[in-house]
Amino acid sequence: MPGARKNFPRLTPPQVLQTLKSFLFVFAALWAALPARACDICAIYDASDAQGQLGHALIGGVAEQYTHFGTLQQDSQHVSSHGEFIDSSVSQVFALYNFNKRFGLQLNLPVIYREWGAMGGSSSNTVKLPMRMRDAGIGDISLVGNYTAYRKFNEKFQFNWSLLGGVKFPTGNSSNLKLSDENLPDGVGGHDLALGSGSYDGIVGSSVFGRWNRWFANASLQYSIRSRGDFGHRYANDLTWSGGPGYYAVLNDNYTLSVQGVVAGETKGKDTFFGVPDEDSAETLVYVGPQVNFTWGNRLNVLLAADLPISRENTGEQVMPDYRIRTAISWKFW
């Protein structure tokens, strides 16, 4: 059953060392192989929420979110474009350590890759098109604590409520914030392309999960509290949320397979430069799509999801998302 404990043997010190070496090897390989956007508005991946693990544990893995931006809008209205686009891949390499049944600490390292350009000419007189540019690197690292406020569990029923809070550090390259709109395709701004913000930001959130027999539902939200970063730029505070009902097609002690319908949203106000609002930066998005989860024992968790926007509102001129794909894999080492 999900959340049921297994009596795995305790690892000896040499086995622990070998496990850590294996994890560091995977970490280094991902770092080298995965190229990396500061924020799509991308929520911090919560491994504790995904695994549903309580008690002493070390969990590691990677979560990927790929988003294609290809719809040009002016104040929430679709307008003709010249092939402007952004392709964004944000891979979050993470490690979670649960100290006890209540509290865990998670480190997230975003690895970001972006391409952008316009393939069919442009209304801009200064940009020479067609063009295709790219950038890659690490993003802003975050350190987040997760606290299980309430849990009730039996064979037919399960309910979890958890809280999270943490800090995002300015480790990503913020130089793209200096890019002038005159040197970028229509609807693409430097704030869309920077790998980091240059600011220390706060993160707070909460999630709930409930199950009755094979049916379940969950919901989560995260709120980012931004401060002024490099070049006088301050990203607006943003809220991300998701949730929906699901069903366990397979549910036993060895593995589970579930399908879920997810509704997700992201909203933020206008960014500012030295206190002056950026008119081309506020947006509110709502996505819907399917999600599939597979677990093996209490060790392995695999997620695959696709999201389509059903509502896209924005201020000014922006390239908006057409779809996104999310995947994640995590492994409990002990």
What tens digit of pLDDT does each residue of 27-81 get?
333 333 333 333 454 567 776 665 554 578 899 999 999 999 999 999 999 999 9
In a domain, 316, yes or no: yes
- The reported pLDDT for the residue numbered 218 is 94
- The average pLDDT across 222-236 equals 96
294 in any annotated domain: yes
What three-state secondary structure class fits 26?
helix
Residue 159: which domain range? Answer: 13-332
pLDDT of the residue at 127 = 52
3-state secondary structure of 48: helix
Structural domain count of the chain = 1
| Cα–Cα dist 44/242, whole Å | 12
DSSP 91: E
Query: What is the C-alpha separation between 206 and 149, in angstroms, rounded?
Result: 10
User: Does the global pTM surpass 0.75?
Assistant: yes
Residue 31 lies in a domain: yes
pLDDT, residue 122, reads 55
Q: Look at the alpha carbons of 328, 177, 117, 313 in this order and tell me if their dihedral is positive or negative.
A: positive
Q: What pLDDT score does 20 carry?
A: 41
d(CA 120, CA 110): 31
Tell me the CATH number at 174. 2.40.160.40
Residue 282 resides in a domain: yes
Whether residue 8 is contained in a domain is answered as: no
How far is residue 109's CA from residue 85's CA, in Å, rounded to a whole number? Answer: 25
What is the helix (H) or strand (E) element at residue 49, kind and residue range? helix 47-51
Residue at 104 is within a domain: yes
Residue 147: inside a domain, yes or no? yes
Asked if residues 142 and 44 have their Cβ atoms less than 8 Å apart, the reply is yes
pLDDT at 3 over 90: no
What residue has token string 């995590």? Answer: 330
Q: What is the pLDDT of residue 182?
A: 81
Q: Is residue 4 part of a domain?
A: no
